[in-house]
Amino acid sequence: MYKIIFILALIVTSFMGLQAQEFQGLAIYESKTSTSDFKSRMEGNKNMTPDMQKMIEERMKKMFEKTFVLNFNKSASIYKEEEKLEASAQAGAGMRMMSSMTGGGGTLYKNVKEKMYTVDKEFMGKEFLVKDSLTNLKWKLESETRMIGGYTCYKATAIKAPSTSDFRNFRPKKEEDKKEDVKKESAKPADEKKTNFMDAIELPKEITITAWYTPEIPVSQGPEGYWGLPGLILEVNDGKTITLCSKVIMNSKDRVDIKASTKGKVISQKDYDETVIKKMQEFREMNQGRGANSGIPMRFGG
């Protein structure tokens, strides 16, 4: 009881301090996605040489380790991947597509006052402007605390449905499901048999989110699409991807214009997800023969 009163008092005090001025903050996040599932699959592939495995691991590291910058004020924020010079110079259409499907690409604008967001995405040569309502997660506030970057943070958990257009959300299939797939495949004629990396993974129905937020920065913002807690979210963990804040700067002299992007064809999140799934299925069928023996995703050109 006393801890809850203390948190509320801290929020009110901090909020009154921020009301005295038009403030703006900046937070830098490091995002890392576990690739152990992919590595174990590569290690079991007899057709892959050590050099090939090393090259693929390096590419995966670039895809699944990213740095993001969140600029925020009391009601809105923009979240964007920090471009690396070498990656920007070498990025082809395929690499931009994969970046978009692993949490990067485009500028995410969140307005917690209006409870809406927009994000510009480039997919297979087309520009989209995804515009939709913010997902209102039912956060469960915990009493557990920890320090992150000098800020006292409190734990919160929630359950959410994973995005079908974010490749990081896919998980390995259960062994019994994989055995059943193999059984069905072995029953087919030789000319119809096929193997594909995507056959070994699936999208879970729901994932558990663990977040750490600090009431010392009383804004309802956070990385990616996360929001809705009584303080800035400094860490998010979905069991596979960890996004951790490495630096916070408050009221810098360098101001950023926090506004939504306007480029691209306006589309809802649902329609965009369906478009991505449809195009990826077409891409998979088109490259089925080329990718049949690799046991890994097709390499997109850079």
- DSSP state letters, 79-118: EEE---HHHHHH--HHHHHHHHTTT-SSEEEEETTTTEEE
Q: Give pTM, 2 decimals.
A: 0.74
Q: What is the mean pLDDT of the chain?
A: 77
Identify the three-state secondary structure at position 277.
helix
Q: Provide the pLDDT for residue 168.
A: 73
Model confidence at 166, pLDDT cuts 50, 70, 90, reads: confident
Q: Is the dihedral of CA 151, 156, 161, 167 positive or negative?
A: positive
Percent of the chain's residues with pLDDT above 70: 61
Q: Which carries the bigger pLDDT value, residue 97 or residue 250? A: 250
Model confidence at 150, pLDDT cuts 50, 70, 90, reads: very high
Contact 260, 162 (CB under 8 A): no
Judging by beta carbons within 10 Å of its beta carbon (0-12, 13-18, 19+), is residue 202 exposed, middle or buried?
Answer: middle
218 pLDDT above the threshold of 80: yes
pLDDT tens figures, 31-56: 998 866 655 555 555 566 777 766 76
Measured CA distances, 7 to 14, 15, 23, 169, 214 (Å)? 11, 12, 22, 33, 10
pLDDT tens figures, 59-95: 766 777 899 999 999 999 999 998 765 544 444 554 5
Measured CA distances, 93 to 119, 144, 153, 281, 299 (Å)? 18, 44, 40, 18, 12
Whose tokens are 């996360």? That residue is 226
Over residues 117-134, the mean pLDDT reads 92
Residue 6 gets the label, from left (phi > 0), alpha (psi -120 to 50) or beta, of alpha
Q: Provide the pLDDT for residue 162.
A: 83
Contact 256, 78 (CB under 8 A): yes
Q: Which carries the bigger pLDDT value, residue 29 or residue 278? A: 29
Q: Provide the pLDDT for residue 155.
A: 98
- The C-alpha angle with vertex 105 and arms to 280 and 269, in degrees rounded to 5, equals 60
Q: Provide the pLDDT for residue 189.
A: 62
30 pLDDT above the threshold of 80: yes
